[in-house]
Structure 1
Amino acid sequence: MLDYLVLYQSETGNTKKIAATIFSRLPGNSKDLIDITTDKPIPEAEVYFIGFCVHRGTCSMAVSDFINDLSGKQIALFGTCGMGNAPEYYKAIENSVSAWIETDNDYLGAFICQGKMPQKVRQKYVSMKNEQNAGQMDMYIQNFDEAITHPDSLDVEHAKVFVEKVLKKLEGQP
């Protein structure tokens, strides 16, 4: 059994980047980094860092099913989302995804940051814009343009801090 397993699902590379950062910060050699959608067997671990890309405020069914099947484990979550760079939104995502964690597990917290979206999303916003929704579409387009550089170096640093907090929690430190 591994000490740490970093599992992730990434469609645009954003979550994969954060997963690699988390993996690099974990101590020792008893660890692995695996794309959850791979055919590779997923080993058992003491501590799971589970990453996901956000769609409609939550994770995919593949991720929620995996989370829901864990029992007696220590679980930390991480994710990337294109929309909204707001702590309230991130907390809502965390609540939605952590709801899949069974009560016999130890939930260690979550890290969520903004991530870039495919260019087709911006094109969709531009094509949907009309007189009635111009304000909303302009807000979506502005958010898209701001997200294009994420996850950036500050997001990576925040992910590293998250790992340190989780490791301290595991050691029983506040």
Structure 2
Amino acid sequence: MKTSIVYSSKTGNTRQLADAIAAALPESDILYIGTPCEVALAADRLFIGFWTDKGSCNSEIADFLKTVKNKQVFLFGTAGFGGDAAYFDKVLHAAKKHLDGSNTLLGSYMCQGRMPQSVRDRYVKMKASPLPIPNVDMLIENFDRAATHPDTEDLQKLKDAVAQL
């Protein structure tokens, strides 16, 4: 069975996950690894990865998901906000809505991912403003927690999920 690993990675986090998937699969099974393209659709099984944008997959992956038909699909992604399983499930549910019903969803995986320093800088400015937004300290704490992700444990959990397919 031929496999494609398709991903969009703004900060490199999702690419790390794609690389972990590639390491967990026999090299001879991999047809394509890279950003969305028509060549990837020749595979029987697609691992499709995204970064979280407004509570769902980013638009490049949303558009690609709409072109996938009659395939086995495994979704994976990263989110800067939150390390909470309920939040990840909500993001995955939103991403799945872009996937045609002819596909078989084999599984999914999400983990937290680091964000650019500019995000933390913006939070700090917000905290220093005359009218600070509520929960800004929580946003800064989340940013700091995310700084080490995806970590070795995140990558191993993904490899374990792939090995079970």
Q: Secondary structure at the match of 2:2?
A: strand
Kindly indicate whether the alpha-carbon contact (under 8 Å) linking 2:78 and 2:112 is maintained by their aligned counterparts in 1: yes
Unaligned runs of 5+ in 1: 168-174
Q: Deviations over 1:116-146 (max 9, x none)?
A: 1000000001111246545511000000001
Does residue 30 in structure 1 map to residue 32 in structure 2?
no
Aligned residues: 164
Kindly indicate whether the alpha-carbon contact (under 8 Å) linking 1:23 and 1:32 is maintained by their aligned counterparts in 2: no
In the alignment, the residues of structure 2 paired with residue 118 and residue 3 of structure 1 have an alpha-carbon distance, to the nearest angstrom, of 35
Kindly indicate whether the alpha-carbon contact (under 8 Å) linking 1:101 and 1:107 is maintained by their aligned counterparts in 2: no
- State the AA in 1 paired with 2:20: T
Q: Give the stretch that moved more between structures: 52-61 or 39-48.
A: 39-48
Kindly indicate whether the alpha-carbon contact (under 8 Å) linking 1:23 and 1:33 is maintained by their aligned counterparts in 2: no
Query: Is the alpha carbon distance of 1:70 and 1:40 closer, same or farther for their aligned partners in structure 2, counting shifts above 3 Å?
Result: closer
Does residue 82 in structure 1 map to residue 88 in structure 2?
no
Aligned to 1:15: 14
Unaligned runs of 5+ in 2: none
In the alignment, the residues of structure 1 paired with residue 105 and residue 41 of structure 2 have an alpha-carbon distance, to the nearest angstrom, of 19
Moved over 6 A (4+): none
In the alignment, the residues of structure 2 paired with residue 53 and residue 88 of structure 1 have an alpha-carbon distance, to the nearest angstrom, of 17
Query: Is the alpha carbon distance of 1:28 and 1:123 closer, same or farther for their aligned partners in structure 2, counting shifts above 3 Å?
Result: closer
In the alignment, the residues of structure 2 paired with residue 140 and residue 28 of structure 1 have an alpha-carbon distance, to the nearest angstrom, of 40
Q: Secondary structure at the match of 2:53?
A: coil
Q: Secondary structure at the match of 2:76?
A: strand
Match of 1:55 among 37, 50, 53: 53
Query: Is the alpha carbon distance of 1:40 and 1:66 closer, same or farther for their aligned partners in structure 2, counting shifts above 3 Å?
Result: closer
- State the AA in 2 paired with 1:29: S
**TM-score when normalising by structure 1:** 0.87
**TM-score when normalising by structure 2:** 0.92
In the alignment, the residues of structure 1 paired with residue 27 and residue 111 of structure 2 have an alpha-carbon distance, to the nearest angstrom, of 26
Aligned to 1:117: 115
Does residue 140 in structure 1 map to residue 133 in structure 2?
no
Kindly indicate whether the alpha-carbon contact (under 8 Å) linking 2:46 and 2:74 is maintained by their aligned counterparts in 1: yes
Identity in percent: 36
Does residue 73 in structure 1 map to residue 74 in structure 2?
no
In the alignment, the residues of structure 1 paired with residue 103 and residue 151 of structure 2 have an alpha-carbon distance, to the nearest angstrom, of 31
Q: Deviations over 1:20-79 (max 9, x none)?
A: 000111125031443315x79435100000001111111122111111111110000000
- State the AA in 1 paired with 2:4: L
Query: Is the alpha carbon distance of 1:95 and 1:43 closer, same or farther for their aligned partners in structure 2, counting shifts above 3 Å?
Result: closer
Query: Is the alpha carbon distance of 1:40 and 1:94 closer, same or farther for their aligned partners in structure 2, counting shifts above 3 Å?
Result: closer
Kindly indicate whether the alpha-carbon contact (under 8 Å) linking 2:5 and 2:40 is maintained by their aligned counterparts in 1: no
